[in-house]
Structure 1
């Protein structure tokens, strides 16, 4: 018998203890997974409950959410009512395929595979918005937009977005993709009161959506992003430009061949015009484009009270109708020094062309731009009675010439401005620097690109009539800024207040003495210079502008009560025989102002430069004029005020932003 000792059992080595970090991360993962699973379960329950309570398809077809808007003048007079319009319901098979392709390409490229929300689109928009530091890109799918249009409001809240996502997935669970597209294309808002592609096609093109061309479909698809901004009734050229973006997007998405995209002629698209309204539609279209930025209400009927004065509007329409040269277009915009737009005409006849030349068209202002040159010189320390020599000058390869071919020798700034002498304006621009002139234009509200070459002194850069008129209004407002606006108040039809424009504190853009000196120059241009045809028998300031070959004519002017700008020219930029700022534009201005100011008491322009403005009065510190002590009076006891010192950038920074020492933004 074997007496050997059995082998001893060895105990297993203990497992190493996991670190706290490892245990924490593991627990965090498990809890996170459990939370995600619970959230998914809750989402599925919410989607199931929403889907089970959705109305039937026929019920959704019967429940459009349209909104009527009544636009009123400042005195309560109704100007226009924009009501919802719904065309014929088109089945999916009746909708042109290129209309469907355009909408999918521009609004929801992954429409055919996502479940109602697009995770890739959400992630992309999150990254883009984080990089931009603000919301610049959305991620709503077509189904989400449909859910919002059918059941929700446009309120920008997380609660609304969550409901929108749940309803979108419920719609996808209940209806086919084709049914969702059919609902969407027959219910989405396209601007101008048109809901659905058939209503939009009839309103903008005058025919049913069944016969939409590719170019027309691209324009309609481009409207969804911002109906008020891109609608042809607001800006036909902007609508065409947006259509071009849609065609390029279709091509990029593989929905359109390069040859088909090239064949889609957007320029040949002709827009239908509502001939039941007058020229006030230029103003009401401009106002309607601003609604979506002032209120989120998209269901209740709205009442919009504007700044338009019916007597001013009637005067503007009559002046354009009776005094434009043959074959020319014309535009007028008038405003108070508070920025209230009281009249607007954007063309000879709204029924013939809805293009608003008062707010959209960019044209060279000619000598009307010289205001910024002289303002920069006045701010640099010059005065109206200082002199320069009107003589041949050259700046590089550029040698400015006067319009009459004459040189007058020594002239004051007042005389040079009144007679619109080009050589003096060019010398002043070179003296203060073209950057200073461009900065002055930017400061007074010109947002269009500004050429910095020497010829900019004579108005080589393009501007809009609205911006140039509001810049002149700053001088009329004694140097305080003027921001044009057309809406005073928005209420529901039941009287609930949605928006009320509040009085805003004005920023000081020009020192009072600079504004007063500029008013002296502008008054001289009307009294003895190129603007004599604008005289209306009361104190008036203004400036003419004429571009080369008589392509554009301008007159911008003001009384203490009203500022108005006039532009005349052709849309194709061809010459208008005999056109000059001192002729037809000045005459249109005079006709308008004479009528608009009929019965208004005469008041004087602010052209006086008070002695105290240069002294150590309390207000002087506000404008930065007290930084240097006034020089001691010379022997003999003369107490005449010292000339104003040149204004520093520090003054400008402090006056505009309250942040001395920061450089102004580059232009």
Structure 2
């Protein structure tokens, strides 16, 4: 028994010894890993401290040298921001002077306390506690960006904004932000908080060319900044974030809303008693009345941004910009729009010389009320004036003004255009169909030549907006810019040559050095001469006897009206004596305008303006004599395909054959099917209503006109056109 107990005791001791050995080994391993990690953490901490020390030394050195390079306080007071620009008309007269406007420099003790408090509260409420850069604000912005999954918001302090305005540009790059931070700390090193705030309030930009609070106060309230009230100070302080958006002369509601935010910030940070804040009524502030603004500002707003491309980016010297605008024509254009536009609507006008020079531009009825330029920015439907491209494509495909077509009910891919009076005249010629803007004929022509070919023709003539090739596009359902449409008609006036609009002739420095000079753009042939002559014939007839009769001015005029569904848009574009003018009228909210048609108010405004514009120019007759190519004159089929020396031809697949015989495949958008049950968008209100329609055309003519099988009578007097695959052919 004793022996057995001894054996069990030895076994237990051995087990305990083995267990202790394993425990000691595990402890040694853990201590080894912990020691390893501890050593690396220590090394990383030392490295981090070293890097931090080196970064601090580098930053301190950068700030030190930046502070040494910063000009003196008196030098910064005398420096100016912005660029002075004098804009001149084509005769050299000054039409507008733009650039920085500086009021009186106000010392720190002359600036109202409410102005300082308002600016610090809304722009940098820790201004008096940071060293130029706000670490707490930056940390909060980074945290919010990560937690809300968005970009880091702006965190520039007042000192950083001053550094950017005086020394840097507004590019949102990391390099610029780092330089801005260094310069801000250098400014804090060199100047006191009072000096920095004085510099800022006298230099910051408040919009409308006003730099500094005194200039802004005189600009918006007609008095010195020394007399600013709490409400006025709140409005001015609110402008810094977005001067154009919160300008009280542009959007008083936005300005008041922003000023109330400023008042709320002043309460939140203890600069304004809540009881006093409840008595604040920003909306009661009396603003200075705007005077001296006129429609020429639409033009200057359009051309001046082009200077960024025409001049070196680092040029800030005063300049003079010599433009194409004619002051007399501009005044006549303004009067023509304001005198003819229906009540409650807007109007726009663009007038181009034969070389593309912009002679007049009106973007709205009142620039002060709305500086939105409807002549170059607004996208609106042109109505039947779009038929210019339909008939250009048809003339190029072989039609002539005398070709016979049929005005009959028609359905194309489920779409059935209609004339406004519901009547149809049967067989008529192309000239009459265009003059009276017959929708059914335009639809058949577009179907025959191909809707994508019509779209490509519009592109060829300078339409830059999106074009959809639905069948209804032939009636002008695509939205366009008035300037583009005017450019297209100007190309017709130039006998089918391209025209490039421009508004700046040259730019000079204050001492007369020429910095830029306009070079005449290369002109391209867009269509053959016979096509340009044919479409001019049609356009002249539209004014002489068609829908554009109100545009007559006692000398040859060619043009086209346009009216969209429910009278939402009225268009007239035309030319005479080398001047091409486009007019649009309508409401900004696209609401219906009773009685508005392209042949009424827009055509009358065109005539009123053009009578003045061409008064000193010789009368010019249009070249409408058709010199047709042989393939249209000879009956032999080989002439259909053309000879290499001819200009444009159409091959069997409907593709354009350019000089030399190379084929250019149609790369335009396809013709999507139309839903037969869908509404009929873009149906023009312009049509022809002649009584007792003549006998319809022969079957042979119809087969050629639709490029395929005869249309089938559905028993109700309507004709359904089946999209054929035969090549488009000209009418006999």
TM-score by length of 2: 0.63
- Whether the 8 Å CA contact 1:65–1:150 is kept in 2: the answer is yes
| CA distance in 1 between partners of 2:395 and 2:181 (Å) | 59
Distance 1:155 1:396, change over 3 A: closer
Please say if residues 383 and 562 of structure 2, whose CA atoms lie closer than 8 Å, have aligned partners that are also in contact. yes
Whether 2:466 is the aligned partner of 1:449: answer yes
- Which secondary structure does the structure 2 equivalent of 1:474 belong to? helix
In the TM superposition, residue 50 of structure 1 has moved relative to its aligned partner by 2.5
Secondary structure of 1:555's counterpart equals strand
Indicate how the Cα distance of structure 1 residues 414 and 113 shifts in structure 2: closer, same or farther if over 3 A, else same.
farther
Distance 2:247 2:630 in 1: 50
| Corresponding position of 2:93 | 77
RMSD of aligned C-alpha atoms?
Answer: 5.5
What is the DSSP-based 3-state SS (H/G/I as helix, E as strand, rest coil) of the residue aligned with 2:95? strand
Residue 646 (structure 1) aligned with residue 667 (structure 2): no
Moved more, 211-220 or 523-532: 211-220
Q: Which residue of 2 aligns with 1:12?
A: none
Segment of structure 1 superposing worse, 206-215 or 455-464: 206-215
Answer yes or no: is the 8 Å Cα contact 2:333–2:360 preserved in 1: yes
Native 8 Å contact 1:306 1:487 kept in 2 = yes
CA contact under 8 A between 1:547 and 1:553: conserved in structure 2?
A: yes
Partner of 2:305: 289
Alpha carbons 1:51, 1:167 under 8 Å: kept = yes
Q: Note closer, same or farther for the CA distance 1:440–1:493 as it changes in structure 2 (3 Å cut).
A: same
Partner of 2:496: 479
Question: Corresponding residue for 1:94?
Answer: 115
Equivalent-residue separation in structure 1 for 2:494 and 2:61 (angstroms): 62
Matched residues in 2 for 1:181 and 1:666: separation?
Answer: 62
Question: Aligned partners of 1:150 and 1:59: how far apart in 2?
Answer: 11
Aligned equivalent of 2:409, options 392, 406, 410: 392
User: Matches of 1:493 and 1:462 in 2, distance apart?
Assistant: 42
Aligned position for 1:335? 352
Deviation at 1:298, TM superposition (A): 5.4
Q: 1:48 aligns with which of 53, 64, 68?
A: 64
CA deviation map 1:294-343 (0-9, x unaligned): 33365322211000112322321232243333443322210113211001
Whether the 8 Å CA contact 2:469–2:670 is kept in 1: the answer is no
Contact 1:519 1:607 in 2 (8 A): yes
Select which of 206, 221, 224 maps to 2:241.
221
The answer for the alignment partner of 2:277 in structure 1 is none
CA-to-partner distance for each residue in 1:157-183, whole Å, 9 max, x for gaps? 999999878756644765699987885
Aligned twin of 2:515: 498
C-alpha distance in 2 between matches for 1:451 and 1:271: 47
Taking the aligned partners of 1:577 and 1:452, their CA distance within structure 2 comes to 29
Give runs of aligned pairs for residues 315-354 of structure 1, distance below 5 A: 315-354=332-371
More off after superposition, 177-186 vs 594-603: 177-186
The whole-number CA distance in structure 1 between the counterparts of 2:606 and 2:443 is 27
Q: Where does 1:204-219 land on structure 2 (aligned, <5 Å)?
A: 211=231
SS at match of 1:437: helix
Cα distance change, pair 174–574 in 1 and its aligned pair in 2 (3 A) = same
Shift of 1:562: 0.4
TM-score calculated relative to the size of structure 1: 0.69
* Equivalent residue number for residue 610 of structure 2: 593
Q: Is the 8 A contact 1:95 1:210 kept in 2?
A: no
How many Å apart are 1:154 and its aligned residue? 9.4
The question of whether the paired residues in 2 share the 8 Å contact of 1:614 and 1:643 is answered with: no
Give the distance between the partners of 2:70 and 2:320, measured in 1 at CA.
32
Q: Cα distance, 1:417 vs. partner? A: 1.1
| Superposed displacement of residue 141, structure 1 | 10
CA contact (8 A) 1:550 1:577 kept: yes
Distance in 1 between the 2:361 and 2:88 partners?
Answer: 14
CA 1:144–1:601: 2 relative to 1, 3 Å: farther
**Native 8 Å contact 1:96 1:212 kept in 2:** no
Give deviations 1:489-539, integer Å, cap 9, x for gaps. 111111122221112212333343333322222112112211111112222
Are residues 611 and 219 of structure 1, via their aligned partners in 2, closer, same or farther at CA, if it must alter by over 3 Å?
A: farther
State the alpha-carbon separation in 2 of the partners of residues 236 and 451 from structure 1.
Answer: 35
Q: Which residue of 1 aligns with 2:597?
A: 580
Deviations 1:332-361 (A, max 9, x none): 210113211001222333344433332233
Q: Give the match's secondary structure for 1:288.
A: helix
| Greater gyration radius | 2
For residues 460 and 60 of structure 1, do their structure 2 counterparts lie closer, same or farther at Cα, with a shift above 3 Å needed? same
Distance in 2 (alpha carbons) for counterparts of 1:65 and 1:219: 17
Unaligned runs of 5+ in 2: 1-52, 126-131, 143-153, 262-284, 672-732
Question: Helix, strand or coil for the counterpart of 1:290?
Answer: helix
- Equivalent residue number for residue 317 of structure 2: 300
1:512 to 518, 529, 547: 529
Distance 2:286 2:487 in 1: 33
Distance in 2, Cα, partners of 1:231 & 1:339: 36
Pairwise CA distance, 1:201: 8.2
> Are the equivalent residues in 1 in contact too, given 2:352–2:358 (CA < 8 A)?
yes
Counterparts of 1:628-667 in structure 2, within 5 Å, are 645-646=649-650, 663=667
User: In structure 2, how many angstroms separate the alpha carbons of the residues matched to 1:649 and 1:166?
Assistant: 66
State the match for 1:522 in structure 2: 539
Cα deviations by residue, 1:31-50 (Å, 9 ceiling, x for unpaired): xxxxxx99998887555322
2:454 is the alignment partner of 1:434: no
Give the CA deviation at 1:584: 1.7
CA–CA separation in structure 1 for the residues paired with 2:439 and 2:504: 40
CA distance in 1, matches of 2:159, 2:527: 52
**Structure 1 CA distance, aligned partners of 2:667 and 2:286?**
48
Secondary structure of the equivalent of 1:549? helix
Q: Which residue of 2 aligns with 1:187?
A: 203
Say if 1:200 and 1:114 are closer, same or farther in 2 by CA, change over 3 A: farther
Alignment of 1:63-142 (within 5 A): 63-86=79-102, 94=115, 112-113=134-135
How far off its partner does 1:556 sit?
A: 0.3
Instruction: Find 1:355's aligned residue among 372, 376, 395.
Output: 372
CA distance in 2, matches of 1:649, 1:114: 69
1:219–1:575 distance in 2 versus 1, CA, 3 Å: farther
Aligned residue in 1 for 2:621: 604
CA–CA separation in structure 2 for the residues paired with 1:179 and 1:73: 43
1:260-271 matches, cutoff 5 A: none
Conserved in 1, the CA contact under 8 Å of 2:90 and 2:323?
A: yes
The answer to whether the 8 Å contact 2:201/2:212 transfers is yes
Change (3 A) 1:311 1:659: farther
> Residue 488 of structure 1: CA displacement?
1.0
How many residues get paired?
A: 576
The 2-side partners of 1:456 and 1:354 are apart by: 31
Deviation at 1:598, TM superposition (A): 0.7
1:491–1:497 contact (8 Å) kept in structure 2? yes
Contact 2:350 2:362 in 1 (8 A): yes
Aligned equivalents of 1:385, 1:270: Cα separation in 2:
66
- Measure, in 2, the Cα distance between the counterparts of 1:101 and 1:422: 60
SS of equivalent residue, structure 1 residue 333:
strand
